[in-house]
Amino acid sequence: NAGVTQTPKFQVLKTGQSMTLQCAQDMNHEYMSWYRQDPGMGLRLIHYSVGAGITDQGEVPNGYNVSRSTTEDFPLRLLSAAPSQTSVYFCASSYTPLFGTHNYGYTFGSGTRLTVV
Amino acid sequence: DQQVKQNSPSLSVQEGRISILNCDYTNSMFDYFLWYKKYPAEGPTFLISISSIKDKNEDGRFTVFLNKSAKHLSLHIVPSQPGDSAVYFCAASPRASRSGSRLTFGEGTQLTVNP
């Protein structure tokens, strides 16, 4: 059981380049999210999805696009990379929380360290 | 506007002693609270959680306390072990709904447990 797999682990981009960070989970989780981690700022939500075909913006969505065509995959696209997007990116997934119960134990991937020069 | 705040960037304790990590929040809509642990070069791992209908939840050496009136929660680790050395993130979520997937994280606290 692989859990949440992120690729690549490291990436260096030039300003203006575009790329896609891949995220796949094999746990049949409905919820998937992308976070970025920056020093002193914790993890900030970029985009999230509550199921295939449904996505929504998080706290810091500008400069990023997502799509969710399958339950398993949730890629994050950087449209035109900027130095401010230098960060560590984490993908996470979880079961749908049922009303009256709480199961928000997200499973995180190991992260993609992105540097934009 | 930082809705979840961990005011201590770092904490150092001796092995065997208690570690207490603190977290404050401002959003009254938060209904569920979680703690994650993160080692370098790894993703965060879920540690323990608590619903707003409770004020305490225990899991082995880890206990989370919630004070709703003060909008404050804390994580107690007893006894602390060197393997507990990691960054600890507090996170909060609104009531179970589609927005329940929106976890808001604090800045993190680096815990160091000295042998």
Secondary structure of B41-101 in HEC code, one letter for each residue: CCCCEEEEEEECCCCEEEECCEEEEEECCCCEEEEEECCCCHHHCEEEEEEEEECCCHHHH
Say what percent of chain A tops pLDDT 90: 76
Residues 82-111 of B with CB under 8 A from A: 89, 91, 93, 96-98, 100-108
Cβ pair A50:B51 closer than 8 A: no
Which of A16-20, A76-80, A83-87, A104-108 comes out lowest in average pLDDT? A104-108
Q: Do A102 and B96 touch (CB under 8 A)?
A: yes
pLDDT at A41: 85
Query: Phi/psi class of residue B40: alpha, beta or left (left: φ > 0; alpha: ψ in -120 to 50)?
Result: beta
Average pLDDT, integer, range B23-30:
93
Whole-number Å distance between alpha carbons of A21 and A65: 11
Asked if residues A18 and A83 have their Cβ atoms less than 8 Å apart, the reply is: no
8 A C-beta contact, residue B73 and residue B50: yes
Q: What is the pLDDT of residue A100?
A: 43
Q: What is the pLDDT of residues B55-114, one digit of tens each?
A: 999 999 999 999 999 999 999 999 999 999 999 999 998 865 555 567 889 999 999 999
Q: With H, G, I as helix, E, B as strand and everything else as coil, classify residue A114.
A: strand
Residue A99: the pLDDT is 42
Which residues does chain A have within 8 Å of residue B98's beta carbon, measured at their own beta carbons? 50, 56
Restricting to B residues 24-43, those with a Cβ less than 8 Å away from any Cβ of A are: 32, 34, 36, 41-43
pLDDT tens digits, residue range A56-102?
999 999 999 999 999 999 999 999 999 999 999 999 998 765 444 45
Q: Within the 48-67 window of chain A, which residues sit less than 8 Å (CB to CB) from chain B?
A: 48-50, 56, 58-59
Asked if the Cβ–Cβ distance from A105 to B34 is below 8 Å, we say yes
The pLDDT tens digits for A24-37 are 999 988 889 999 99
Contact criterion met (CB < 8 Å) for A45 and B103: yes
Interface membership of A39 toward B (CB under 8 Å):
no
Residue A114 near residue A88, CB atoms below 8 Å:
yes
